[in-house]
Structure 1
């Protein structure tokens, strides 16, 4: 880590260039060779790393460009890419979460319902269905697979390609620190289970499979960021609302699965991203951070990424005032830039937000980031302007905190 400086990063997803989106569509249709696709991907990764370097981002990534999408979309790849990296799956010909029938949970037995039945969507049904409301909740209909056999990892070539392209681009632009996002076991395990019929067994199997991806990333000296919306966002996908105790019990299985997947991996190379979902909506049914933060901190990671700027979670900086909550060796990676607004945050506001956290946990334990991924949520021009503001704000805060 750089001394006497607030270092900067982001959550991962960055706007994809049009040529890469087209190549994803061509790849899905079988109208582009693998060599041609990889050449486009290589050039795109090099360009996105160059842009991050020019802006001054310290911990860069590949924009998640290596997470293959199934069409010309700039969102959803954080999850869909795992369909191509896990064995034991079979395509179902349907989008499980687009189904209309509601799935109900019971006390002590949590089950995730479909997207249209989520509690926030029920509460604001008219707003969600009004295309002029400003809510950005669209998602491409994607053919979801189901677990139909033993889960294995088959993405070795893909993850090695991603690692190689990112490392090459970092070397070309003299970048020292990089990270790569990867889906958490609990999030990957949200697909339909037609084989194990046992929640714990499925989580263990997915954890063991994803361990290979995490290890490939960290063996290359890169930070692996575990994208884990199952730890927070899933609360809204449980209908009716469960008790906090039931959710915490459900959550603990996923915390244990993450640590199982991280066995033997240096925590210094692990970042946990805690996510309430990146769609633009009211989010009135988000679970308060206070109810889950201590469980999240059980993950064997050195840094923890979370929303700190969205209108729904900006007040939760207070959770870090509890003495002893952040353990020695742990750092926080708050989002000082929001993906949920087109307004570009002023650098002075970014600096003020950084200083607030720095005064609580110490400036050496704060890494400046974004709330969530920017790709697919805001226009490319605005996304890059926000990252520029993040860097400028971190420079202001660094001057104030370190002199």
Structure 2
């Protein structure tokens, strides 16, 4: 690594929405606010998010998912062939999130992430990262008892085509990197400790990832975490050692791994080191969005120096553990706290880079 380079650092995706946008989303859901007024507030929030990230020196920007209903359901907005009684995701604090259920085929994305990327890039010349939902998550839309006239294999074929188009559109629109959100990976081991569901998820994702060449996969990444919603998780109690070997079977050039909230981060780092292969970069989480305490740059630095004992610095990056507000109605973390944590990550990464002589 060149002496003029430092350890790369990137956000994961979502940033808490400003209060006026939160209020507008509630009014819009009740039919009291026109689409055009909501869209204007979302655009203003996107511009503000990008401006604040630039001011704190973030080398890679995101739109903060200000215009997404959630990190997982954005492709479904306006899809008429859905019922509300899909898969339920339980969180440790007792609350749940429920996915919709597909009722008929063919399955088609109604919204592609390229739209969010192009909107964001209008506000900056800096590199912009785009998060997309992993096809494995959307595979949960298909009901266990099937759909008359639309087989699961036909659905998975359509899903692969749609997911490829979602990713490729972002690459073509100039994304710095396209990150697949794979929070369901760790959850899969809670639902099925045998690992069969996780194997299916990995195969579903690689079915799409294998459609890209090596140069494209260098700009693709996968994010894993135990969920983060209303300051709770859905799978932090699942042993990372069961997930990580299979996670690294995904055919991407970048891995974004939640680490700051792990009780024994060094154990996780040893597992990562065992499965690290040439040509990939591992971004380790150095800030915990669920912890209300804002990390200091020095705390971040020390977490990175620990990681550097196990991961070669030319394969190391830093990130936040997960998004700060992956669902639009999550107000558990304030916008100011999120930006303070991001600033600590940026400054702490610079401190660690200097300490390592980069």
Deviations along 1:149-206, one digit per CA (max 9) or x if unpaired, are: 11123325xx3431221111222xxx1x211111111111212424277555433332
Residue among 318, 325, 330 paired with 2:270: 318
Report the TM-score, using the length of structure 2 for normalisation.
Answer: 0.86
> How far has the Cα of 1:212 moved from its partner?
1.3
Does 2:111 correspond to 1:155?
Answer: yes
> How far has the Cα of 1:291 moved from its partner?
2.1
Residue 91 of structure 1 is matched in structure 2 by 82
For residues 67-78 of structure 1, the aligned pairs below 5 Å read 67=68, 69=69, 77-78=70-71
Residue 304 of structure 1 is matched in structure 2 by 255
8 A contact 2:9–2:319 mirrored in 1: yes
For residues 240-279 of structure 1, the aligned pairs below 5 Å read 242-243=193-194, 247=195, 249-262=196-209, 263-264=211-212, 266-279=216-229
Residue among 77, 80, 102 paired with 2:73: 80
Does 2:282 correspond to 1:332?
Answer: yes
CA distance in structure 2 between the partners assigned to 1:80 and 1:15 by the alignment: 17
Residue 111 of structure 1 is matched in structure 2 by none
Residue 157 of structure 2 is matched in structure 1 by 204
Residue among 185, 188, 192 paired with 1:231: 185
CA distance in structure 1 between the partners assigned to 2:264 and 2:223 by the alignment: 15
8 A contact 1:290–1:319 mirrored in 2: yes
Deviations along 1:37-84, one digit per CA (max 9) or x if unpaired, are: 3332222111101111111111211001121x2xxxxxxx11232322
- Aligned partner of residue 304 in structure 1, secondary structure: strand
Change (3 A) 1:115 1:327: closer
Does 2:338 correspond to 1:391?
Answer: no
Uncovered stretches (5+) of structure 2, i.e. residues with no partner: none
CA distance in structure 1 between the partners assigned to 2:35 and 2:290 by the alignment: 35
CA distance in structure 2 between the partners assigned to 1:287 and 1:210 by the alignment: 27
Change (3 A) 1:320 1:60: same
Change (3 A) 1:32 1:58: same
Change (3 A) 1:169 1:278: same
For residues 91-240 of structure 1, the aligned pairs below 5 Å read 91-92=82-83, 94-97=84-87, 114-116=88-90, 128=93, 138=95, 144-156=100-112, 159-171=113-125, 175=126, 177-193=127-143, 194-195=146-147, 199-222=152-175, 223-238=177-192
Between 147-156 and 181-190, the greater mean CA deviation after superposition: 147-156
8 A contact 2:10–2:61 mirrored in 1: yes
> How far has the Cα of 1:327 moved from its partner?
1.8
8 A contact 1:208–1:260 mirrored in 2: no
Does 2:83 correspond to 1:61?
Answer: no
8 A contact 2:114–2:173 mirrored in 1: no
Between 345-354 and 229-238, the greater mean CA deviation after superposition: 229-238
- Aligned partner of residue 252 in structure 2, secondary structure: coil
8 A contact 1:64–1:180 mirrored in 2: no
Give RMSD over aligned pairs: 2.7
Does 2:24 correspond to 1:23?
Answer: yes
CA distance in structure 1 between the partners assigned to 2:99 and 2:286 by the alignment: 35
